[in-house]
Structure 1
C-alpha cells in the first residue's frame, strides 16, 4: 500500500518541484513560441497569396515551431532530472552532432511522430483552416484565392521531390563542412515534405470517401443497414439523458480519455531518449559507380540511412517509460486531463469575475486569458498550462526511469550475493 501511494505522490511532487525551479524559463519559451507562431502564420499567408508552394513551406514551419518549443522546454528541465542524466552518461559518447546541437538533433528525431500525432488529432486541419481564414481576410475583395494550388497530384509529388533534393544537397554539404545552418535546413525540409504529404493524404482521403459515398450500390447497402434502426424507432421512446451508455461505448470513451496523455508520454520518451543509444554504425563509403543501379542504391542510402539511425535510439527510453507502475500511469493520465479541466474552470471563474462588457473590451480580456490558459474551446494551449503539462511529462518520465534503474540495481546486488 505504501509503495502504491509513493508511486502516486512521487510524480506529482516532482512536477511541483520542476515548476518551482524552472517556471520563468518555461513561460519565456512559451511566449517566444507564441510570437513565432503568429509571425510565421502571417508570413505564410503573405507568401501563399503570391506563391502557394512557398506558403505551404512556411506553414510547415508553424508546426515545426511548436515542436521546437516542446523540445526546448524539455532541454530546460534536463538539469533537474538526475535519473535521465545518469542513464545518458551510460550511453556512448560518439554522437558529436548531438553534442554540438542537441536541440536540432532531438527535433529531427521527433519530427515524424510529432507530425503524425498532429495530423491524427486534427491539429493539422486546425492550422490549415486558420491559414485559410487569414488568407481570405487579406485577399482583395472579389479576387479568387487559390492558396492550395499544389494539392493536385503532380503538384504534391513535385513539391516532395524538391524537398528531398534540397535535403539531399544539404546532407552532402553538411558532410563536407559541418555547420548548424545545413542541419537546420535538413530539419526544415523534413518538416516541409511531411507536412505537405500528410495534408495531401487527408484531402485525398476525404475525396475518396465522397466518391465512395456517391455510389448507388453503397446507398442501397446503407438503406439495408438502416432497416433495423427504422424498425426499432417504433419501440418505446426513452430520452437520451436516461439511456445508460453501452459497455462498449464506455470502454471506448475510457480508451480515448487515456490515449492522448499516453501519446504525449511517448513523445516525451522520444525526445529525451534520443541520446541514449550507441552511435550509429558507420555507413560504407559512397560507391562511385558507373551503372545506374549502384547510383540508385547510393541515392537511396542517403535518404533511408539517416532515418534508420535517427529512430534506433528511442526504444530504450520508451521501454523504460511504459514499464512504469500502473499507479504512476493512471495518476499521470488523470493529472494530465485535470490540467485541461482546471483550465476550463479558470475560464468560467474569470468570466464570472470580470462580468459583462462590450465586445471590444471582452476581446482584450479573452486574448489575455488565452495567452496563459488557451482558448475556451480548445484548452490545449496557453503558456501556463503548457508549462504544467511539460513539467508533468518530465516528472513521470524521470520517475519511470528512476524506478527502473532502482529495480535494476537491486537485481544486480542480488546476483552478486
Structure 2
C-alpha cells in the first residue's frame, strides 16, 4: 500500500489539473441538466423525468474520463492489453459497465434523492412563473394532472420496459448498427437502471416504515428495555456493538464500493484475466438440467441470461480481485481512504475558520456555492488517484498470485508425471 501512496502523489503531480477540469465539467453539466430537466418537467412531467438521468450520466462520464486519464500513469493496469476496439467504443463499454454499480452507489449515498429534490424545486419555480404569467394574461393557469413517474406507476413501468427492450435490441444487433447508436444505448441503460433504482429505493423506504410501525417492533423494543433495565452492562454492551457495527459499515462500504466501481470500469477497457473460482455443485447441476432443454429454448434463455448477467459479471470480477489482495491490503486501503475523508472535513472546517463570521444574506447566500465547490475540486482528484493507484496495486497482487498458482500447478504436474515414470 506504500507503493500505492507514492503512485497517488505522482499521479496528482502529473494529471492533477486534468482531473480537476474533468470533475468541474461533470459538476457543471450535472447542474445544468437538472435545471433543464426541471424546466421541461414544468411543461411535460414525463419528459422531465426522462431527461433527469442525464444528470447522473454526466457525473459518470466525468468519472470515466478521470480514470482514462489516470490509466497512462498506472504500471499494472496500463501494461494490460486493450481490446481490439476503437477508443470511443472502449469508452462506451466502460460507461455501460459502470452504470449499474455507480447508480446503486449514487442512490445509497443519497445523491439520487438530492437530484430529485433539486429537480422538483426547479420544476416548481418554473411552474410558478407559468401560473403567474397565465394569470396576468387572463388565461387558465391550472396545472394539468401528471402521474407519479418517480414511483410505482404504469408510466414508470412502461418507461423502464421500453428503455430495457431498446437497450437489449442494441446489444443484439450492435454489429449491424452505426457506432453512434452506442451513445443512445448508454442513455437507455442509464434511464432504465435509474428509474428501477428509484422505484426500489422508494419501496424499501415504504417497507422499512411499515415494519417500524408494526406491533412486533414495539414488543421487541419493550423486551430490550426490560432486559437492559434489569442488567445495565447488557444494555451498554448492546449499544456498543450496534455502534461499532454501524461505524465499521460507514468506514468500509464507501471505499470498497469505489474500488469495485473502478474495477468494473477498468475491467471493460482492458483485457483483464478473471480469477478462477470453484463452481458450486448446485450451479453445475442446474447447468446440466439446462442442457436438457430444447436447443431453441436454450438459445432464447441463454440470450436473456447473458444480457442480465453481463451487468453483474464485471462487478463479480472486481470483487474476486479484491478477495485475492487479502485483508492486510484492504485494511490499509480503507485507512488511506478514511484519511482522505478526514482531510475533506479538515478543509471544510479550515475554510470556514479562515473566512470567519459573515452575514447570511450579504455573503453566504452569494458565496457558499463557490466556497463549497472548492472542497470537492481538491478532494475528488485525490480520491480518484488513490482508488486508481490502489486498484493498480491490487491487479499486481492478483497477477503474482495467479503466476504462483500456475507455478505450483506445474510443479505438481511434473512431480506426478515423474512419479508415474
Q: TM above 0.5, one fold?
A: yes
Matched, 1:228 2:223: yes
Deviation at 1:55, TM superposition (A): 1.2
Q: CA deviation at 1:39?
A: 0.9
- The partner residue of 1:41 within 34, 46, 65 is 34
- Indicate how the Cα distance of structure 1 residues 298 and 39 shifts in structure 2: closer, same or farther if over 3 A, else same: farther
Are the equivalent residues in 2 in contact too, given 1:104–1:184 (CA < 8 A)? yes
Structure 1 spans left out of the alignment, 5+ residues: 1-6, 279-292, 374-381
User: Is 1:266–2:260 an aligned residue pair?
Assistant: yes
**8 A Cα contact 1:343 1:385, kept in partner:** yes
3-state SS, counterpart of residue 39 of structure 2 = helix
Q: 1:82 to 1:54 in 2, by over 3 A?
A: same
Q: For the structure 1 residues 200 and 145, does the alpha-carbon distance in structure 2 shift closer, same or farther, using more than 3 Å as the test?
A: farther
Per the alignment, residue 289 of structure 1 pairs with: none
CA RMSD of aligned residues (A): 3.6
- 1:120 aligns with 108
Given that 2:163 and 2:189 are in contact with CA atoms closer than 8 Å, whether structure 1 keeps it comes out as yes
Tell me which of 9, 14, 20 is aligned to 1:21: 14
- Structure 2 partner of 1:102: 90
CA contact (8 A) 1:30 1:383 kept: yes
350-359 vs 226-235, greater mean Cα deviation: 226-235
Residue deviations 1:106-152, cap 9 Å, x none? 01011112222222332222221222222223331776687763235
Q: Secondary structure at the match of 2:358?
A: coil
In the other structure, the counterpart of 1:137 is 125
C-alpha distance in 2 between matches for 1:112 and 1:343:
27
Cα deviation for residue 42 of structure 1 reads: 0.6
The SS at the match of 2:357 is coil
State how far apart, in whole Å, the 2-side matches of 1:147 and 1:196 are: 17
Contact 2:40 2:47 in 1 (8 A): yes
Deviates more, 1:14-23 or 1:99-108: 99-108
Q: Distance in 1 between matches of 2:42 and 2:146?
A: 6
Q: Is the 8 A contact 1:265 1:397 kept in 2?
A: yes
Partner of 1:66: 59
* Residues 358-417 of structure 1, C-alpha deviations (whole Å, 9 max, x = no match): 2232334422221121xxxxxxxx222111100000110111112333455566678689
Distance 1:244 1:406 in 2: 43
Measured against aligned partners, the alpha-carbon deviations of 1:84-112 in whole angstroms (never above 9, x if no partner) come to: 122x22x7x4x536x44221110101111
Cα gap change, 1:235/1:409 in structure 2, threshold over 3 Å: closer, same or farther?
A: closer
Structure 2 distance, partners of 1:145, 1:328, is: 57
Secondary structure of the 1:49 match is helix
Q: Distance between the aligned counterparts of 1:322 and 1:363, measured in 2?
A: 47
The residue aligned with 2:139 is none
How far is 1:211 from its partner? Answer: 5.4
Q: Is contact 2:344–2:379 with CA below 8 Å preserved after alignment?
A: yes
Unpaired segments of 5 or more residues in structure 2? 132-141, 274-293, 415-421
- When residues 223 and 323 of structure 1 are mapped into structure 2, their CA distance, relative to the original with a 3 A threshold, is closer
Task: State the distance in 1 between where 2:341 and 2:74 align.
Answer: 25
2:334 aligned with 1:361, yes or no?
no
The TM-score with structure 1 as length reference comes to 0.78
1:61-210 aligned within 5 A: 61-86=54-79, 88-89=80-81, 93=83, 95-96=84-85, 99-140=87-128, 149-150=148-149, 151-168=151-168, 170-171=170-171, 174-179=174-179, 181-210=180-209
